[in-house]
Amino acid sequence: QVQLVQSGAEVKQPGASVRVSCKTSGYTFSNFAVHWVRQAPGQSLEWMGWISTANGNKRYSEKFQGRITITRDTSASTAYMELSSLRSEDTAMYYCARDPTSADNYFDSWGQGTLVTVSS
């Protein structure tokens, strides 16, 4: 079955960077785009960006432009999200999610989430 398994929780100091991985299985990785969505404690969901797993094209929310990098390793069926210059407001659960058509931008399968805590 379709699975997206994310890397474990991270604790980072302000100003540092974090890299979260999303390993997929149960389907052909390059056929479906991967998006990243985050959720601060007690808050709603916030879309961050996506990557075409077929050709590596990507698009980011302007809010994170300059701080976010999304990449993929097709040989490992894994997508990555790196966020730099972390601040306390970046403390959140980070999710990867699959676009079921690579053209629709809604999400039919999600990773379990990676908690990133930014604290000095």
Partner 1 sequence: DIQMTQSPSTLSASVGDRVTITCRASQSFSTWLAWYQQKPGKAPKLLIYKASSLESGVPSRFSGSESGTEFTLTISSLQPDDFATYYCQQYNSYPFTFGPGTKVDIK
Q: Which residues bind partner 1 (CB under 8 A)?
A: 35, 44-47, 59, 61-63, 95, 97, 104-108, 110-113
Cβ pair 7, 113 in contact under 8 A: no
Name the nearest CA neighbour of 6 among 94, 73, 71, 72.
Answer: 94
**Residue 34 or 97: which CB sits closer to partner 1?**
97
CB of 89 to partner 1, least distance (A): 17
CB of 95 to partner 1, least distance (A): 6
The nearest distance, CB 15 to partner 1, in angstroms, is: 25
64 or 80, CB closer to partner 1?
A: 64
Other beta carbons less than 10 A from residue 56's beta carbon: 11
Q: Which is nearer to partner 1, 74 or 101 (CB)?
A: 101
Min separation Cβ 108 and partner 1, Å: 5
- Please say which residue, 25 or 75, places its beta carbon nearer to partner 1: 25
Structure tokens belonging to residue 11: 């604790």
Rounded to an integer, what distance in angstroms lies between the CA atom of residue 13 and that of residue 16? 6
Does residue 30 sit in helix, strand or coil? Answer: helix
User: CA 34 to CA 75: how far, in whole Å?
Assistant: 15
